[in-house]
Every structure is written in C-alpha cells, then in structure tokens.
Amino acid sequence: MSIEPITGRYLTVEIEGAPRRIYFEEAGQGRPVVCLHTAGADTRQWRHLMNDAGITASHRLIAFDMPWHGKSLPPEGFETQEYLLTTEAYIETVLAVIDGLGLDRPVLAGCSMGGRIALQLAALHADKFSGFIAIEASDFQPAWYDIDWFHRPDAHGGEMGAALVSANISPYAPDAERWNTLWMFMQSGPGVFRGDLSFYTRDDSLIPRLPTINTAKTPVHIIVGAYDLTCTPEDAARTAKAIPGATLAVMDELGHFPMSEHPEGFRPFFVEALEKMPKSTSAAA
Amino acid sequence: MLDTFKQIQTSLEATPHLLRLGRLFSETVLIDVDGAEYYLTFEKGRIVSIAEGPSRKTPWRFALRTDAEALDKFWQARPEPGFHDIFGLVKIGRGRIDGDILSLVKNLRFFKDVLTLARAKEELAA
C-alpha cells in the first residue's frame, strides 16, 4: 500500500465575469512552479514529477485543470455553449489561479498549448512570474488536420483525438505511459479538444510579441521532443531564435507529452530547466 | 511487400483486441508503395483479401501512398522521427492520404495498430 504526497483541492475564481470552480493539485515545498497541461488533457500529465521527491524537496509543484477539463467543471450553461478557448480567457484563467492561490511570482511550466500561453504571459505579464519553462511550445502552427473531426455526433471525439495525438508520442515511450497519456484524451469532454485546438491553431498573436520578451528579467527555456509532429524542433528553434536570450533543449527520444509519455526520459530536461530559473523570487526581482 | 501484408493479415487474426476494435470496419484500403498497388479488404475487422493492382475496378475508401524505403523505416522497432506514424510520413513528405479521410480518422487507432503489426519487435526498455 502506498499513499502519494499529491493533494487535491478546489478553488473558485471569477473568469469572464462568472465563477469557475477549478481543481488543483500540489506537492512539495519551496519555489512555486505552476504546471499547465496540454490541450484535451488534464493535471494527471504532471503526476510523475509531483511524485518525484528529488524535485519536490525544493519545489512546490502546482497543477490545475483548466475549466472544461479533468475535474474542473464547465461553466453553468455549458450545454448551450460552443467551447472555444481564447488567448484572453486562457491568460485570465492562469492569472486568476495564481492570484487565488496567493502565489508570489511562481515559475510557469506549460506544455503544448500550456507552453504557448506561457510565452504569451512572458510577453504580457512577466511581472507575475519569475521564469518560464515552455515545453513543446512555439510561436504558431496551423493545424495539419481538420479540428472539426474532434466534435461530431457520429464519431467518438476522444477515440479520434487519442489516435491522432498518438502520432506525437515517441517510440521510446514505455507502453504503459503511452496508453496512460492517451487515456486522458479518450476521456476528454465532447468538443473540448477541438476548442483547445481552436486557440492553438488559429491564434497567431504571439508572433509579434516574441521580441518584446525580456529574458534578462524572466528567463525563458524552451524544451522540445524530436518526435513531436505538432511542435517540431524546427518550430521550437524558430521560436527560441525570436526571443532574445531564450534557451532551447531538444530531447532526441521524446515526443509532445514528455512529462507524461516518458517521465524518466523527461526528468533530466526538467531539472535542467529548473536550474535555469532564478533561485528565489527576490533574486529575480 | 505482399508478404509483409500477408504477415499483417496473419498477425491480426492472432490479435483479439484489434479484431474487437475493428468490428465495425468493413472497407477496402489501397496501399500504394512506389506506385505498386495493394488492396486490403477488411470485413468486420478481419483482412479477408489482399489483391495486387493495378485495378481500376476496385473501389477503395481511403489510400495511403508512400515508398518502400519509408515503410521499411516505419516498420523498424524504433523508427526515426517522422517515420514513426503514418501522419508523420505525410508531415515529412514521404506519404499521402487520399479518399475518405474521415473514415480513416474514425478508425484511426485500429488502422494504425494494424499497420504496425509488421513493426519489428525489440525490447523497448530504456
């Protein structure tokens, strides 16, 4: 028998003028690190790192389910709404959670769409953070598939979404974690993956903002997997080049969901990224 | 190449979970390898025939067009990036998908898992 050190609670904040009940998990103590999940998934992607005593000894890892994801319910009246995530709502959500939890300039670590919004926050709200770890993150890519595939009454969006994103998982990933990763996509609510991808594949507002990011005040470290078909190493390198002072690491044997698909392979890259962040918020001020 | 598709057909018969996943899939799929055509006809998840083309009389639901070298890399135990998935082949310009793509996407896990039945087995422990 074993009980994990991860604890989960709920936080209610106001987003877009209405309450959102948000589920968050945390583990560890020390420098706060807010961890953002990918499109169509949830906080469970971060569970391996949150159970890593070597990391949580000096870091308080906090992950939350975006509204509509995992254990964060959609807003009241969702049944008549079309879920389409926007940059503005995403930023408002992250800032509301940080304020709601009273976090003082945490490190922000986000993967995929979480990495994209991390870079947006680096450009627009850097003062709220001490540094940014942008995983599988880039300036912009249009979809290489029809995102409407993932919300149809005649097919299971979760089954299709999982089968599609499996293209982004490395053959080096252990089978158990490959399928654990895909399970989250299979469980995603109707239209949620599509709504996330709407943000990810249609909003290119980050591109002109990249040169304004001040990495001298808040470092930006980008990590990308060679097996990522969605955000390729070329996409990540182009993005890093556009941010003065940003650093980049390429993981030769990993894909688009590194912390989830191959936690052991990802760990050294995440530790390296944490080491690039300011040791304390006061040191970064 | 024909032998490889026959190997896939045999392996599929011995893979009950894939037969279950494919139980609603009854279509003919064209695999075009360097211009050589192979028609794989599925009936409720089973491959019931493999016919070599060319054929203008055989209707197919969707097609995967690629080359032998790309497929050889695809079937390695640990393919290089891009060669690890049929959409990867498309992304790196070594494959094309034609026809009813929605039919493919609705049955994507089944079809991809069937194709990888020819992938070399190797102990993948890191």
Mean pLDDT within A152-173? 95
Confidence of residue A110 (pLDDT cuts 50, 70, 90): very high
Confidence of residue A280 (pLDDT cuts 50, 70, 90): low
pLDDT > 60? residue A173? yes
Q: Which of A144, A164, A227 sits opposite B108 (nearest CB)?
A: A164
Which residue in chain A has the smallest CA separation from B109?
A: A163
pLDDT score recorded for residue B121: 82
- Which of A147, A229, A230, A253 is best to mutate for the B interface (most B CBs within 10 A)? A229
pLDDT score recorded for residue B71: 98
Residue A208 has what DSSP assignment?
G
pLDDT score recorded for residue B123: 56
The three-point CA angle A49-A95-A143 to 5° equals 70
pLDDT > 70? residue A276? yes
Sign of CA dihedral B90, B96, B98, B103: negative
A262 contacts B91? CB cut-off 8 A? no
- Say how many C-beta atoms besides its own lie within 10 A of residue A137's C-beta: 27
Residue A160 tokens, joined: 């299709």
Name chain A contacts of B23, Cβ cutoff 8 Å. Answer: none
Name chain B contacts of A264, Cβ cutoff 8 Å. Answer: 126
Name chain A contacts of B91, Cβ cutoff 8 Å. Answer: 144, 229
Start-end of H helices in chain A = 47-50, 53-56, 87-100, 113-124, 157-165, 175-187, 192-202, 233-242, 258-261, 263-276, 281-284
For A191-211, how does the pLDDT look when each residue is reduced to its tens digit (9 = 90+)? Answer: 999 999 999 999 999 999 999
Q: Which of B81, B85, B112 sits opposite A226 (nearest CB)?
A: B81
For B8-20, how does the pLDDT look when each residue is reduced to its tens digit (9 = 90+)? Answer: 999 999 999 999 9
CB pairs under 8 A between A and B: 57
Residue A48's nearest CA partner among A122, A111, A116 is: A111
**What is the rounded distance in angstroms from the CA atom of residue A112 to the CA atom of residue A37?**
8
Residues 32-51 of A with CB under 8 A from B: none
Which residue in chain B has the smallest CA separation from A231?
A: B91
Evaluate whether B119 touches B75 at the Cβ level (below 8 Å): yes
Is the CB of A143 inside 8 Å of chain B's CB atoms? no
Q: Which of A149, A166, A175 sits opposite B105 (nearest CB)?
A: A149
Is the CB of A170 inside 8 Å of chain B's CB atoms? yes
pLDDT score recorded for residue A283: 40
Confidence of residue A281 (pLDDT cuts 50, 70, 90): low
pLDDT score recorded for residue A7: 98
Share of chain A above pLDDT 90, in %: 95
Name chain B contacts of A172, Cβ cutoff 8 Å. Answer: 78, 124, 126
The least confident of A57-61, A122-126, A150-154 is A150-154
Rounded to a whole number, what is the largest CA-CA distance in chain B? 48
DSSP string across A77-105: TGGG------HHHHHHHHHHHHHHTT-SS
Evaluate whether A39 touches A254 at the Cβ level (below 8 Å): no
Helices (H), strands (E): how many in chain A? 11, 8
pLDDT score recorded for residue A282: 46
Evaluate whether A225 touches A38 at the Cβ level (below 8 Å): no
For B28-80, how does the pLDDT look when each residue is reduced to its tens digit (9 = 90+)? Answer: 999 999 999 999 999 999 999 999 989 888 999 999 999 999 999 999 999 99
B87 contacts A149? CB cut-off 8 A? no
**What is the rounded distance in angstroms from the CA atom of residue B47 to the CA atom of residue A69?**
38
A229 contacts B85? CB cut-off 8 A? yes
pLDDT score recorded for residue A1: 87
pLDDT > 90? residue B98? yes
Name chain A contacts of B106, Cβ cutoff 8 Å. Answer: 155, 160
Residue B21 tokens, joined: 């996943």
> Residues 6 or more apart from A179 whose CB is under 8 A from it?
none
Evaluate whether B89 touches B82 at the Cβ level (below 8 Å): yes
- For residue A79, the Cα-to-chain-centroid distance in whole angstroms is 26
Evaluate whether A273 touches A107 at the Cβ level (below 8 Å): no
ipTM above 0.90, yes or no: yes
pLDDT score recorded for residue A144: 81
- The label of the residue with tokens 């971060």 reads A46
- For residue A96, the Cα-to-chain-centroid distance in whole angstroms is 16
- Say how many C-beta atoms besides its own lie within 10 A of residue B117's C-beta: 17
- Say how many C-beta atoms besides its own lie within 10 A of residue B68's C-beta: 12
pLDDT score recorded for residue A63: 98
Q: Which of A155, A164, A171 sits opposite B84 (nearest CB)?
A: A171
Confidence of residue B122 (pLDDT cuts 50, 70, 90): confident
Is the CB of A254 inside 8 Å of chain B's CB atoms? no
For A205-239, how does the pLDDT look when each residue is reduced to its tens digit (9 = 90+)? Answer: 999 999 999 999 999 999 999 999 999 999 999 99
Residue A283 tokens, joined: 């040191």
pLDDT > 70? residue B81? yes
B87 contacts A167? CB cut-off 8 A? yes
**What is the rounded distance in angstroms from the CA atom of residue A226 to the CA atom of residue A2?**
35
Rounded mean pLDDT of chain A? 96
pLDDT score recorded for residue A279: 80
pLDDT > 70? residue A184? yes
Residue A11 tokens, joined: 């936080």
Name chain A contacts of B84, Cβ cutoff 8 Å. Answer: 167, 170-171, 227
